[in-house]
């Protein structure tokens, strides 16, 4: 994921014009400066410079100077089960891709599908979240924006992920267990309340909300589209996709009005 | 990690010349074709085109068309403990970076350092290797070459990693437990033989050698530098760093002579 700096374009411009003007001057000299030949020279110049320009471009395409890696970031959605993380993270990811960012999506469902033996005990969840944090940090290091959505109920493992990442943006999808249960199409809250699911955050296991999330959204009175819009607003990931800067967030807090 | 296609350069060349020639024609028309003004026009053209070219470049720098992700690959070193995987993988990684490839290094020691709770039972090792395989595949998908070195003693988990990756190149560092024990500076083989380390591949646990590794090196009579050279030779990762193609390996087998 590269963009080209203005300095690169400037040097390339000077380089091209130097060669092109030398070519024109030599052509004019060769034709001894008769005006009737201006059209001929012009035509010849077009052909000559087309070829010259092309090889000039090829040479520059191999030069790394002035091509920079885009600064990436890790957008980490945390919140109770059925707080809307996956839906909102999908929307945000799609929008970042539309803006031309190189972005990867990491979701709890996909990873647990791939590694079905991952359990739900605090230790297993912690280990899982820390490994995902490591994965996210490796992608970020290589210039890939990561949109991750995991319940990630424990502060310790979220902070482990934060320490590994250069630009970690925690998004707290703040909801109540009651509101999540109402949103929960799979009936997990009901099963957890009946004691059929052990270690269920918000029911039979703790959920430790982030103390200082970069982005906080009280989601219960908002539609998913509105939450996604608020997150993107807080991120400000560049007006044009190709030049998006990593967000320079202090502590943007979005409270419902 | 992008390179620019010839088609992109060709279109850019035509685009530039169209605008530049229109500019020249309009200037000549404006100056009514007097020869004495040729130098003046030429000078003016240099200035005008410098500015035009620069903004033309800036516009193209934002266009994605014809910019392609470099095809990446995963180079996976497997072999008994102390068979020389880390040393050789480090050398190969360094060489790939020198050739301008975007390459990440994943090593068993680093990862076990980061996740010290990862155990050595067959199940734990399998799970660890499969998660590393997933990490490697995510990096590969984003255009990053991965150089991984893990004992990864079980075929099943190596094949899991292979299935996730688009271009998985297994390097078997083939050595005997005796030769590895002689190479082993940390005395792990000795401890394993005394029963102080359980599940030690080659001593108290099986090591399942790859049946059809893309690259096979019988390392025992070779210096690490020679092994690295053989691996790079088999890889053929492009003559110039910037345009390296993913290796199209059939089944390159390097046997010691």
The whole-number pLDDT of residue A34 equals 55
Whether the CB-CB separation of B103 and B44 falls below 8 Å is answered with: no
- pLDDT higher than threshold 90 for residue A26: no
Residue B52, Cβ neighbours under 10 Å: how many?
17
Q: Which tokens in the block code for residue A60?
A: 């520059």
- pLDDT higher than threshold 60 for residue A32: no
Summarize pLDDT for B27-76 with one digit per residue, the tens: 666 655 655 555 566 666 666 666 677 777 776 777 666 777 777 999 99
The whole-number pLDDT of residue B47 equals 66
Q: Are A127 and B117 in contact (CB < 8 Å)?
A: yes
**A2-4 and A67-69 as β-strands: parallel, antiparallel, unpaired?**
antiparallel
* Dihedral (CA of B209, B211, B216, B220) sign: positive
Nearest-5° Cα angle at B201, B200 to B206: 120
B99 at interface of A, judged by CB pairs closer than 8 A? no
**Least confident residue range of A89-103, A109-123, A172-186:** A109-123
Whether the CB-CB separation of A66 and A7 falls below 8 Å is answered with: yes
Give the gap in angstroms from C-alpha A179 to the nearest C-alpha of chain B: 34
Q: Could you give the residue numbers annotated as active site of B?
A: 152
Cα–Cα distances in Å, from A207 out to A127, A158, A211, A228, B30? 16, 12, 12, 22, 75
Q: Which of residues 34-53 of A touch B (CB under 8 A)?
A: 34-35, 38, 42, 46, 49-50, 53
Whether the CB-CB separation of B56 and B77 falls below 8 Å is answered with: no
d(CA B218, CA B76): 16
Summarize pLDDT for A54-102 with one digit per residue, the tens: 777 776 776 666 777 777 999 999 999 999 999 999 999 999 999 888 8
Q: Which tokens in the block code for residue B179?
A: 């030769």
d(CA B43, CA A151): 65
d(CA A18, CA A26): 12
d(CA A138, CA A33): 62
Whether the CB-CB separation of A53 and B13 falls below 8 Å is answered with: yes
Burial of B31 (0-12, 13-18, 19+ CB in 10 A): middle
Residue A90, Cβ neighbours under 10 Å: how many?
16
**ipTM of the assembly?**
0.79
- pLDDT higher than threshold 90 for residue A179: yes
Sorted by where each starts, the structural domains of chain A and their CATH numbers stand as 2-67 (no CATH), 70-243 (3.40.50.300)
Nearest-by-CA chain B residue for A68: B1
Q: Is the pTM of this model over 0.90?
A: no
Q: Are A64 and B100 in contact (CB < 8 Å)?
A: yes
B2 at interface of A, judged by CB pairs closer than 8 A? yes
Summarize pLDDT for B100-122 with one digit per residue, the tens: 888 999 999 899 888 888 888 99
The whole-number pLDDT of residue A11 equals 76
Q: How confident is the model at residue A48 (pLDDT cuts 50, 70, 90)?
A: low
Residues facing B201 on adjacent strands: B205
The whole-number pLDDT of residue B181 equals 94
Summarize pLDDT for B167-194 with one digit per residue, the tens: 999 999 999 999 999 999 989 999 999 9
Length of chain B: 257
Longest Cα–Cα distance in chain A = 97
* Dihedral (CA of A243, A247, A252, A254) sign: positive
The whole-number pLDDT of residue B194 equals 93
Residue of B4, B57, B65, B143 to mutate, interface with A, max A Cβ within 10 Å: B57
Q: Are A13 and B104 in contact (CB < 8 Å)?
A: no
Q: Are B62 and A242 in contact (CB < 8 Å)?
A: yes
Cα–Cα distances in Å, from B141 out to A67, A168, B164, B166? 21, 22, 10, 8
Nearest-by-CA chain B residue for A25: B42
Give the gap in angstroms from C-alpha B58 to the nearest C-alpha of chain A: 7
């Amino acid at each position: 994921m590269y963009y080209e700096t203005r300095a690169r374009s400037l040097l390339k411009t000077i380089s091209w014009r130097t060669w092109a003007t030398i070519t024109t001057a030599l052509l004019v000299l060769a034709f001894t400066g008769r005006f009737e030949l201006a059209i001929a020279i012009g035509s010849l110049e077009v052909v000559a410079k087309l070829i010259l320009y092309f090889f000039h471009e090829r040479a520059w395409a191999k030069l790394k100077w002035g091509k920079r890696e885009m600064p990436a970031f890790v957008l980490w959605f945390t919140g109770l089960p059925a707080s809307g993380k996956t839906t909102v993270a999908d929307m945000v990811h799609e929008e970042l891709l539309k803006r031309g960012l190189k972005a990867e999506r990491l979701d709890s469902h996909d990873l647990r599908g791939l590694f079905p033996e991952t359990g739900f005990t605090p230790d297993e969840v912690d280990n899982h979240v820390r490994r995902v944090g490591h994965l996210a940090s490796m992608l970020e290091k290589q210039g890939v924006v990561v949109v991750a959505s995991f319940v990630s109920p424990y502060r310790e493992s979220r902070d482990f992920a934060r320490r590994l990442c250069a630009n970690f943006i925690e998004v707290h999808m703040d909801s109540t267990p009651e509101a999540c249960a109402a949103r929960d199409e799979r009936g997990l809250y009901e099963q957890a309340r009946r004691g059929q699911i052990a270690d269920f955050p918000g029911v039979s296991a703790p959920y430790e909300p982030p103390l200082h999330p970069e982005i906080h959204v009280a989601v219960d009175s908002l539609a998913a589209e509105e939450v996604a819009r608020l997150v993107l607003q807080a991120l400000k990931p560049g007006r044009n996709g190709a030049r998006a800067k990593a967000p320079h967030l202090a502590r943007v807090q979005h409270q419902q009005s």
